[in-house]
Structure 1
Amino acid sequence: MKLNYYLLWVEDDDSWFETTSELFKETIIDYGFSPVIERKVSLNEVVEEIVASNLKKYDILLIDFNLKDSKSGDSIIDFLRDKDVYTDIVFYSSDKSLILESVSKHQFEGVYHSDRKEIEDKFEKVFKTTIKKIEEINSMRGLIVGETSELDALIEEHLLVYIQKPYIDSFDCDKFLKTEIFDSSQKRLENLKTSYSEKGISEVFKSFDAIKKWKLLRAILKKNLDKDQYITEFLDANKEYNDEVIDIRNKFAHAQVIVLENGREVLKSQFGDDHFEFGENEFKRIREKLILHRESLLKLKQAKSFS
């Protein structure tokens, strides 16, 4: 699981799907994930999806036990288990006793049941069990490092656009490179100067660390506010990127998990005696910030300046 939370929902009632899916989206967002709800209207479509992908990307399945013109709910469970699909499943029906009878008869595992009227509450409870491992500190470290690496790649992709004409014309590359790069290391300075003079900034920016790439992107964009109306909005949304993405990633990547006397797991910095304590609320805020920064970078990518 990454920041996206994938729900496969099998429901043939258009109206009920549209209204109830909004409630599920709110639940997923409230816990700091980005909801991706994909709908099927028959169990036959689920079978086709299993054949194509074995449902590997989905975090949970939500299935109407009594779909019209479709296989019965217990038959699809047999099929899922026969194909070694063990994703958590929530069956729901207006008559929950039908589900209970089927679960008891076939001894299904990993199957939850709900009355239609209680589906919102049941979904939230099962959803929380599926994200429980994400709340463990080592799992969060992997999620954060992986996600922030993708954000680094998005910044680099933007830079490949904005270091070209006409954007680069209004930006002082010499000043930026001297202040942020050249003066930091004499040996590296000479190598970068040579590369820059021979091939330009397109050759040297790839060697920058994440902070320098972020600063370069913002500095160029500030000189090109007239090129696209979204640039100003992006700069405002992105201004805390260092604290909310790069610094967080570094804390998780360069720290050791230790257990305090009270049994609480914390991250201990490799430098000095500082440690950083993270719990469910902190993890939620981190995920929310990562989603916001990803969305702002993707929106910048879609801006007309890229066309």
Structure 2
Amino acid sequence: MKIDYKILWLDNEMNAFIEDDVILEIEQHLISEGFLPTIITTSDEDDFLGKLNDSYDLILTDYHLNNLSGADIINEIRKPERSIFTEILFYTAKAELTDTHKISRVSFLETNGKSATHQETIIAEVKKLIDLTIRKFHHIVAMRGMIMHETSLLDSKMLDLILGSLNRDNINFKDLAESIYDQLLELYSTKAGFVNTCKEKSKFKELTKDTFVFSSDYKIQTLKQIIDAIGEVTDFSADYKEEIISIRNKFAHANLLVDDQGREYFKYKEGGITFDEALCKKIRRDIFKHQKNLDALENRLAETNP
């Protein structure tokens, strides 16, 4: 499971889709589902084939193109050497599609005779197909793996920002460092010698390199110090602690259960939160939000780099 969702879209009249905000509407639908959308569009068949690989979650194309037929496109996508098994939607305003149901993981849409416009019909069908692929992503065991992976990436990003800021004269880490030293001495008796050495020799940078000692809680405290010092960045530290660190820790210690209908879900402690599809959708949105928060902080640090 991942937070990114990639679409490759081919249409000789692609400018019309862009100008009418069709692409934007599909992007907004993915964002509302908690995904980070990347929609790569092209109006040229050769360009499409050059971009074609197995990284996409969905491929969209008009069935009637200038230089290639829909059958040609299918043959290109399904070539053994490409090893692409992505869901594909072909659409056309002509009623010429026959026996298409026999092709695995390929959908066909005729928009003629519909009450809605050609573009409106395509939008509705694309959303349905996106939702279908998302449901395939939603296996709850895979979801835990995605959350642990994505939050670990955020954790690494935080540490990079901290290490890049420790030598700034305009940020005073002294009081924060003293507070973290004291917390660590209390919580990790096995690390007492290491922490004491760092404290006595003022080696806060060495402390940050120990991933066991310098946990996500201390990283977010340090990031808050950076945010407060440089200004013009909204303090997201409290939300990050609740929406990322806390939820990750609970998910890591939740138990996998099965209900009477055979549905799998994770439950954190008796009477605690249930990690179902609705909550996982919110978690994806929160991860996306804090990715943007960290990017904004990174940009602000670059702007104020002495």
Provide the TM-score with structure 1 as the length reference: 0.86
The separation in 1 between residues aligned to 2:176 and 2:277, in whole angstroms, is 43
1:266 equivalent in structure 2: 265
1:3-45 deviations in whole A, cap 9, x for unaligned? Answer: 1110111123213234210111121112111111111222222
RMSD (Å) for aligned C-alpha atoms: 2.2
2:10 equivalent to 1:15: no
1:28 equivalent in structure 2: 30
User: Are the structure 2 counterparts of residues 126 and 228 from structure 1 closer, same or farther at C-alpha, using a change threshold of 3 Å?
Assistant: same
User: Are the structure 2 counterparts of residues 185 and 31 from structure 1 closer, same or farther at C-alpha, using a change threshold of 3 Å?
Assistant: closer
Deviation at residue 184 of structure 1 after TM alignment? 2.2
2:59 equivalent to 1:41: no
| Structure 1 residue corresponding to 2:72, chosen from 62, 72, 75 | 75
2:98 equivalent to 1:108: no
Deviation at residue 275 of structure 1 after TM alignment? 4.5
What is the count of residue pairs matched by the alignment? Answer: 289
Deviation at residue 284 of structure 1 after TM alignment? 1.4
1:163-217 deviations in whole A, cap 9, x for unaligned? Answer: 2221443642442233332232344223112134446211102221111111122
The separation in 2 between residues aligned to 1:264 and 1:198, in whole angstroms, is 55
2:218 equivalent to 1:217: no
User: Are the structure 2 counterparts of residues 174 and 249 from structure 1 closer, same or farther at C-alpha, using a change threshold of 3 Å?
Assistant: closer
2:85 equivalent to 1:89: no
The separation in 2 between residues aligned to 1:215 and 1:204, in whole angstroms, is 14
Q: Is the Cα–Cα contact under 8 Å of residues 140 and 277 in structure 2 kept in the other structure? A: no
More helix by share: 1
1:247 equivalent in structure 2: 246
| Structure 2 residue corresponding to 1:144, chosen from 144, 147, 170 | 147
The separation in 2 between residues aligned to 1:306 and 1:58, in whole angstroms, is 37
The separation in 2 between residues aligned to 1:228 and 1:146, in whole angstroms, is 30
Which blocks of at least 5 consecutive residues in structure 2 are unaligned? Answer: 112-117
1:151-300 equivalences under 5 Å are 151-169=154-172, 171-198=174-201, 200-207=203-210, 208-222=214-228, 224=229, 227-230=230-233, 233=234, 235=235, 237-261=236-260, 263-269=262-268, 273-300=270-297
SS in 2 for 1:132: helix
1:55-74 equivalences under 5 Å are 55-68=53-66, 70-74=67-71
Letter in 1 for 2:59: L
User: Are the structure 2 counterparts of residues 71 and 32 from structure 1 closer, same or farther at C-alpha, using a change threshold of 3 Å?
Assistant: same
The separation in 1 between residues aligned to 2:200 and 2:283, in whole angstroms, is 40
Deviation at residue 260 of structure 1 after TM alignment? 3.2
The separation in 1 between residues aligned to 2:181 and 2:225, in whole angstroms, is 14
Deviation at residue 283 of structure 1 after TM alignment? 1.7
Task: State, as a whole percentage, how many aligned pairs show the same letter.
Answer: 26
Q: Is the Cα–Cα contact under 8 Å of residues 10 and 61 in structure 2 kept in the other structure? A: yes
User: Are the structure 2 counterparts of residues 196 and 40 from structure 1 closer, same or farther at C-alpha, using a change threshold of 3 Å?
Assistant: farther
Deviation at residue 86 of structure 1 after TM alignment? 1.3
